[in-house]
């Protein structure tokens, strides 16, 4: 994501520097507008990437919590199965 931001700034710099030597003010204005637009798009992309990263972290935390709950449920089920097995063994001995 930083690469995208850097690329936007680099594009803005190149466009601005390349057009600085032009005599045509309209071309300079167009280049400046394009550079500004590129910077804004890069900034938006960076913001979107940061938001996505935040959501991914939250999803990972939720998945970890679910895994922990599943492990606890598995442990409880194993313990219940073990108790049931012992009860069946005792019943069969009587």
Q: What is the pLDDT of residues 40-80, one digit of tens each?
A: 999 999 999 999 999 999 999 999 999 999 999 999 999 99
In total, how many domains does the chain have? 1
C-beta of residue 46 within 8 angstroms of C-beta of residue 70: no
C-beta of residue 36 within 8 angstroms of C-beta of residue 9: no
Query: Rounded to two decimals, what is the model's pTM?
Result: 0.55
Residue 24 located in a structural domain: yes
Mean of pLDDT over the chain: 85
Residue 46 located in a structural domain: yes
Residue 90 located in a structural domain: no
Residue 15 located in a structural domain: yes
CA dist., res. 90 & res. 34, Å (int) = 83
Residues with Cβ within 8 Å of 43's Cβ and at least 6 positions away in sequence, in order, are 5, 8
Residue 94 located in a structural domain: no
Residue 54 is part of which domain span?
A: 2-67
């Amino acid at each position: 994501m930083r690469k995208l931001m850097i690329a936007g700034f680099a594009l803005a710099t190149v466009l601005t520097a390349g057009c600085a030597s032009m005599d045509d003010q309209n071309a300079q204005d167009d280049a400046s507008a394009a550079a500004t637009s590129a910077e804004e798009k890069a900034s938006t992309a960076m913001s979107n990437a940061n938001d996505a990263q935040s959501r991914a972290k939250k999803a990972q935390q939720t998945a970890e919590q679910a895994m922990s709950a599943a492990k606890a449920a598995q442990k409880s089920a194993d313990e219940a199965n073990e108790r049931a097995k012992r009860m069946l063994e005792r019943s069969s001995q009587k």
